[in-house]
Amino acid sequence: MQIHKKYRIEGVVSNDDTRENIGKVFYDSDNVKGPRLVATDGRCLAIVKVDHTDKEDSAGPIDPLAFTVARKMAGKEPMLRFDCHDSAVDVVTTHMSATSDKLVEDAVTFSPRQTTDDYPHYEAIIPTGHPDILLSLDPEALLAVAKAIGSASSVTLGVKLPEKQGTPTMFVVADCLTVTAKDDDDAKGYLMPLS
């Protein structure tokens, strides 16, 4: 299984010791929408599609540390590769041998793997159909404005809906979004629409 290293799905896993079942990234190899990685901390859920390799990969949890090791091993390569076995996960890199013209594989093994039965049924919380409202946000701008108004934990986004008769099938934020820090009316931020 391969995943582009720009995805940092391991950042969403739970750090709560009492919720060990969501303290790992879950590799779902049998999903009808294709293989994917899933992570949650109980407040948010991230799903990233992955590519097959020539190996048969087994579904199950992957230690978040494996992603850190994979990034270091990959160097400038854009993809991270994992071989998922029933009992272990190998982080694999391929490079040219220094002594010959052959490709050499290096691997670091993370074991043992837990069973797949412990991971929650994540698809049950995913909304079906198309959302009524889509917001496109620049995450760096949202983080910058949240820091500027002193929010260390959460923000509330306020959207003023355009006055229109009927139910719109598409919604575009023409004006800016209001950002307020949790329990703080003294500071407000505004996100301009993406152009």
Q: Are strands 36-40 and 2-4 parallel, antiparallel or unpaired?
A: unpaired
Nearest to 176 by CA among 152, 157, 148, 149: 157
Mean pLDDT by 10 residues, the chain (195 residues): 93 89 90 89 90 86 94 91 92 84 88 76 81 71 82 72 54 60 70 61
Q: Return the pLDDT at 169.
A: 46
d(CA 127, CA 183): 29
Taking residue 180's Cβ as centre, other Cβ atoms within 10 Å add up to: 19
pLDDT of residue 84: 93
Task: Write down the pLDDT at residue 131.
Answer: 64
- Domain 2-125 class in CATH: alpha beta
pLDDT at residue 124, rounded to an integer: 85
Q: What is the pTM of this model?
A: 0.74
Structure tokens, 179:
């950002």
